[in-house]
A and B are shown apart, each in its own frame.
Chain A
Amino acid sequence: MLLRLDKVQRHFGGVHAVDGVSLEVEEGSIQGLIGPNGAGKTTLVNVITGYVPYESGKAWLQKDEITGLRPYRIATAGISRTFQNIRLFKDLTGLENVLVGMHARRRDDTLAQLATLPMFRRDQKGRLDEAGRLMETVGLSASDVGKRAAGTLPYGDQRRLEIARALALRPRLLILDEPAAGMNPSEKQGMRELIERLNKDGLTILLIDHDMRLVMGVCQRVAVLDFGRKIAEGTPDEVSTDAGVIKAYLGTGGDKVVTSAPGAAAVGETEAGIEASGIRAAAEPKKAILDVRDLTVSYGAITAVRGASLRVAAGEVVALIGANGAGKSTILNALSGLIRPEAGTAVFDGLDLTVANPSRIVRHGLVQVPEGREILARQTVLENLELATWGRRSGTLAKEIDAVMKRFPILGERRALRAGTLSGGEQQMLAIARGLLAKPRLLLLDEPSLGLAPQMVDEVFATIEEIHREGTTILLVEQNALRALEIADRGYVLETGQIRLSGTGDDLLHNPAVRRAYLGG
């Protein structure tokens, strides 16, 4: 028994982020911790590693109690971690990042430095050698990556570097928080192999991720969290066939029988299979109101989207599916003018989206309902809606708002309440309503079902279909490929920034590769 958690609790203002979780991690094992978005996985890790205080409960690392220790003491006690959002020291080089991990073990050399004694130089060389070895262990080149500023490295290398840095602590337990998020299938495979290798050398690993396939493939035991509570625990097989787990991930909607949770595989691995299944080439519409060609978008040194092309015709519902971090939101942000592409064109009904002012784009009729809803929590529901009609001189505004409230009765009920008090699903309705008030001709929906309870997901998709029937063109980005493809006319599959596949909704839904990758078979 290396790590033992006993009824760990943590609330955030009324929400049970971690609700009485108990867990035991065997020494030398790889323990998985999975759960849908918002299940409390990262919060649990933050509590264990001392960044967030315990409400109640305890934790032990072997015989030592580690409850409530501050983060740097947790580290020196032997628990090392990576972060969900990568927290490398961006301006330091790869090697320097890894060296930081050795800090606790490094002798204090202040006096030696002042006297410029050779002793510290020898130590430094020893440390550099070790850092170089650690980098090699995670598959990075010490002489190349090691010398570059961490912030300039490609995404996959950054993830690996963070692991190397964590290893530099010589931990007894390594906690990996979503180490493969945003990776393409072959990168994920590489991460899998790395994790297995580290474990074979004797390192105990706690792996957090919501990618089922990765976790199932590499962990010996898995625990599942949902809404802060542990709902299942056991071997990967036991857990992946557990009814409660499947429900938590997929909800009850859709008419497909799912035998395992999504993310079980990826399209890229089986491109041959795609050709073999004889998909009809996507009948791309000749007349498109949205025409995107060879779009390339970068954030600094990281190319998030590469050469993506897609078209949307008036009245269609087009789905854009792909894994976390595949670049879907990036495309939408580029279309809305929030980020400028490096290359490529995007034209919406005559308007060049790559240079137009964001407010102009909205006025032209391209409206985005962003990921995470992004409503104005501190203003009331009504104020949020009123703001959506900003700048429009129209006598019918009051009527339009009333109409919207009729369509979403819950908003009418809660019109005077602060938007932040609404539930996730209600906020999503508000965000969509707000989008509709801007009179969109093309509505971009970014992950509308993200983090919603299954019934709300049903409602959201019903609403989307309704809007579509009324004639609004929709470009829908979704992780929930199943639901998205069900209602879509056509779809595109995005993986690591590139469009890999396109076809009609039905074709993609029945495509075996897509099924295995995104629909759980």
Chain B
Amino acid sequence: MDFFIQLFSDPVGFWNSHTLLIAQIGINSILASSMFIVLYSGQLSLAAPGFMAVGAYTSVLMDQYWHTPLALNIATGVLLAGVLGLLVGLPVLRLRGVFLAIATIGFIEALRLGVILNMPITGEGLGLKNLSADPLGGIYFVLVSLVIVLFVVWRLTKGRLGAAWAAIRQDELAALSQGIDVARYKMIAFVLSAILAGFAGALEAHLNFFVDPGDAQYGVARAVQILTFAVLGGSGYVLGPVVGALIITLLPWIFQAQGIYINIVTGAFLIAVIIFRPQGIVGRGGLAIIRPAWWPRRTGARASSPG
């Protein structure tokens, strides 16, 4: 409760003492937007942490070895994340629903356990020290980026891309019949999402003195957390996952206990939301990704229909 009291009575003081928290909210919001794009186009991809890792490690390594400017490091990280997004997205195009989710989990864990933990240059299990980190100054960059990202994503959903994505999310086969090149639009969404995730990863690395390849950073746990943003907040509107990110990131701080009973609360939230309000807090028509029409079914008896 003191938390909120300070927020409203002493905003400046609040800002100063909670810089890291606010920055983390910003980063998580960018991740939430990354999730938003794939969900908006009907793809249940949990690959974000993998692209985050690429962005983070690239950026920090470039700084460590080549001492190149921050902007270039981040840009390169983002670019590589995008390229990897292309490489990963193509083979998984025809996977739908839970199969895509599992494939992306396979990807992120293969990347983390197979590559990162085995490449000496990444410091393997010990992670990387990031001496150029700027936890306090970086926040401005994060917040400005967030605003730009949200604006861009919002405008995209309003345009031709967004219209195609909305149709694809509803019913891929019907979208095809209307002349929409479903594969192409799905790839665009996937790569954009990878870019945003890579960006968030690079930013996060910049705000921390240490890059840690743990499960909670770039593994399944992180993927589940990002998914929670979208489930809680709703993925029908751009701001949905951002609201989810805000709440989930704030939770530990509100409860004054870092990570202790948090997971229980988060778990309970997930269950409650998916049962009682599946469209999320900022939702209209339901977690629109889930449309029975295109859930892969074994042929035969399962499809139910009226009449």
Contact = CB atoms under 8 A, between A and B. Distances in A.
Interface of A: 49-51, 70-72, 75-76, 80-81, 83, 85, 87-92, 96, 99-101, 103-104, 106-110, 112-114, 116, 120, 149, 165-166, 168-169, 182, 299, 302, 304, 324-325, 327, 329-330, 374, 377
A83 B177 CA distance: 10
Interface in B254-307: 284-286, 288, 291, 293, 300-301, 305-307
A110 B192 CA distance: 13
B170 A89 contact: yes
Contacts of B159: 109-110, 112-113, 120
Given A87-B293, A92-B167, A113-B159, A329 B307 contact: yes
Interface stretch (B109-117, B134-142, B178-186): B178-186
Nearest to A89: B170
A1 to B, nearest CB: 23
Contacts of A165: 178
B5 to A, nearest CB: 39
A49 B177 CA distance: 8
B295 to A, nearest CB: 14
Tell which of B152, B175, B179, B301 has the most Cβ of chain A within 10 Å: B179
A104 B179 CA distance: 6
Interface string B168-199: 00110111111111100000000000000000
Contacts of B180: 72, 100, 103-104
B164 interface: yes
B178 A75 contact: yes
B177 to A, nearest CB: 6
A75 B158 CA distance: 23
Contact of B160 (A71, A80, A108, A374): A108
B126 interface: no
A434 to B, nearest CB: 14
7 contacts: A72-B175, A90-B171, A106-B163, A110-B156, A112-B159, A302-B306, A377-B300
A76 B167 contact: no
A123 to B, nearest CB: 10
B301 A85 contact: no
A193 B174 CA distance: 25
B37 interface: no
Contacts of B160: 103, 106-110
A312 to B, nearest CB: 22
Tell which of B156, B175, B306 has the most Cβ of chain A within 10 Å: B306
B178 A103 contact: yes
Given A104-B179, A112-B159, A89 B300 contact: no
Given A76-B179, A91-B285, A100-B180, A330 B306 contact: yes
Contacts of B23: none
B161 interface: yes
A38 to B, nearest CB: 15
B67 interface: no
A71 B177 contact: yes
B170 A72 contact: no
B50 to A, nearest CB: 26
B182 to A, nearest CB: 7
Contacts of B291: 90
Contacts of B170: 89-92
Contact of A149 (B174, B176, B285): B285
A201 to B, nearest CB: 21
Given A103-B178, A104-B178, A109-B160, 18 more contacts: A71-B173, A87-B177, A88-B171, A88-B174, A89-B170, A92-B167, A92-B170, A96-B163, A103-B163, A103-B164, A104-B180, A106-B160, A106-B163, A110-B160, A113-B158, A149-B285, A304-B306, A327-B307
Contacts of A100: 163, 167, 175, 178, 180
Contacts of A91: 170, 284-286, 288
Interface string B130-160: 0000000000000000000000100110111
Nearest first, the 10 closest Cβ-Cβ pairs linking A and B are A104-B179, A75-B179, A113-B159, A71-B176, A89-B170, A87-B174, A299-B306, A91-B285, A113-B155, A76-B179
Nearest to B307: A325
A85 B307 contact: no
A80 B301 CA distance: 29
A24 to B, nearest CB: 23
A116 B155 contact: yes
Contacts of B286: 91
B28 to A, nearest CB: 24
Tell which of B174, B176, B178, B182 has the most Cβ of chain A within 10 Å: B178
Contacts of A87: 171, 173-174, 177, 293
B166 interface: yes
Tell which of A91, A100, A299 has the most Cβ of chain B within 10 Å: A100
A120 B161 CA distance: 13
B285 A80 contact: no
Nearest to B175: A100
A110 B173 contact: no
A324 B305 CA distance: 13
B133 to A, nearest CB: 31
Contacts of A89: 166-167, 170-171, 174
Contacts of B176: 50-51, 70-72, 75
Contacts of B167: 89, 92, 100, 103
Contacts of B173: 51, 71, 87
Contacts of B164: 103
Interface string B39-72: 0000000000000000000000000000000000
A103 B176 CA distance: 11
A165 B167 CA distance: 12
Contacts of B306: 299, 302, 304, 330
B144 to A, nearest CB: 16
Nearest to B161: A110
A90 to B, nearest CB: 6
B245 to A, nearest CB: 23
A422 to B, nearest CB: 14
Given A87-B173, A103-B178, A113 B293 contact: no
Interface string B201-245: 000000000000000000000000000000000000000000000
A313 to B, nearest CB: 27
A99 B181 contact: no
A41 to B, nearest CB: 17
Contact of B179 (A72, A96, A329): A72
B290 to A, nearest CB: 11
Contacts of A109: 159-160
Contacts of A114: 152, 155-156
B155 A85 contact: no
B155 A81 contact: no
Contacts of B174: 83, 87-89
Nearest to B182: A72
A331 B307 CA distance: 9
A329 B178 CA distance: 32
A99 B182 CA distance: 16
